[in-house]
Amino acid sequence: MKDTRKFVVSVVGARPNFIKVAPIHRAFMKATNIRHGIVHTGQHYDKLLSDVFFKDLGMPEPEANLAVGSGTHAIQTAEAMAGFESYCLKAKPDLVIVVGDVNSTLACALAAKKLQIPVAHIEAGLRSFDRTMPEEINRIATDAISDLAYTSEEAAGANLQTEGWPSERIVFVGNTMIDSLMSALRNGDSGAMERMGLQAGNYAVMTLHRPANVNTPKRLKTIINLVSRNTDGLKIVFPVHPRTKQSLEKAGIGTIPSLKLCNPLGYADFVSLLSKTAFAITDSGGIQEESTALDIPCITLRPNTERPVTVELGSNTLVDPASHAFEELLTKAVTLRKRRKCLPPLWDGAAAPRIAESLDKHLS
């Protein structure tokens, strides 16, 4: 018997996409009028940044893996466009979901729209107002061609309306990354902290991957030295992104007693560590959100953020890593806990069901 349900495809390409799409897939499994599939562009192709997340998040095998791999922004975007266009011509989805702000997001939105396939953007409307960031260009361009905008915080909807979006195409649903976070916490502790010989509250977690922080060996060395000297003997757990690993080698950074370098962690292990850390140091957008939901102080090594709610609620502090202010923050970071006033609106673990319900009605 022919399947008469509408076919919706979600695109994943990089680590944050998997976290955001997993709860959406689970929500669609409960929707009777929609058949849902996942296409992996292969933007993150390392098993530690990709395969392990499918396993940890309980995601099905993707409908297709476009195997885009690494390359310049232009090469990665072009190859994802070509691969996704070919997929769509065969699979004929009724709607394409793209999430976040990576190259795969923009590439697949462009390919779908040129085939007249409607596009829904999850996490639409976020703006850092810094066009030197490749992610900001991806956000702006993806929103410009999307048909539906699902927003994770109220400021995002305001940004879209300022840019001329009609209010009926903007749906404030909350944050699917927090859906995954809450699900992981309910599943129980992974035991990562004990395996690494750590004690709750006696370590910090650090992640760095943005070119502004890691591509210049001198700047990366400054960050590492300041962190190791100003964290009062705490162990700093540092899962190292492949790009960051290359920069560490170029900077000649060897063994530092307080720094615990490790490979990128699976999702369950990372959430387990983050939930018990004293504080986080990052330049990642997702960790700003996760730390806010967990009420963990977060020091973000950037001059701006596209997630202003994390700063407004007091859990996240932006700082220049080359400044004296960064040193001061590090020395008092352990005392910064419990500053958040409340959770952001609709960060309740139910964003994905709201998206599924909305798309079910839209496609009907």
Active-site residue 241, yes or no? no
332 band by pLDDT with thresholds 50, 70 and 90: confident
> For position 44, what pLDDT does the model report?
56
pLDDT above 70 (res 340): no
CB of 154 within 8 A of CB of 160?
no
Q: What are 193-239's pLDDT values in tens digits?
A: 999 999 998 999 999 988 889 888 889 889 998 998 888 778 999 99
Phi, psi of 326 (to 5 degrees): -65, -45
Question: How many angstroms separate the CA atoms of 298 and 314, rounded?
Answer: 9
Q: What are 63-105's pLDDT values in tens digits?
A: 999 988 778 889 999 999 999 999 999 999 999 999 999 999 9
> For position 4, what pLDDT does the model report?
87
pTM listed for this prediction: 0.93
pLDDT above 80 (res 55): no
Given the residues 40, 209, 241, 324, select the one marked as catalytic: 209
Long-range contacts of 84-92 (CB under 8 A, 24+ apart): 84/11, 84/39, 84/41, 84/108, 84/111, 84/112, 85/111, 85/114, 85/115, 87/39, 87/63, 88/9, 88/112, 88/115, 88/117, 89/115, 91/7, 91/9, 91/37, 91/63, 91/64, 92/7
Task: List domains and CATH numbers for the chain.
Answer: 6-175+347-363 (3.40.50.2000), 188-336 (3.40.50.2000)
CB of 108 within 8 A of CB of 134?
no
Please state, for a pLDDT cut of 90, what percent of the chain lies above it. 69
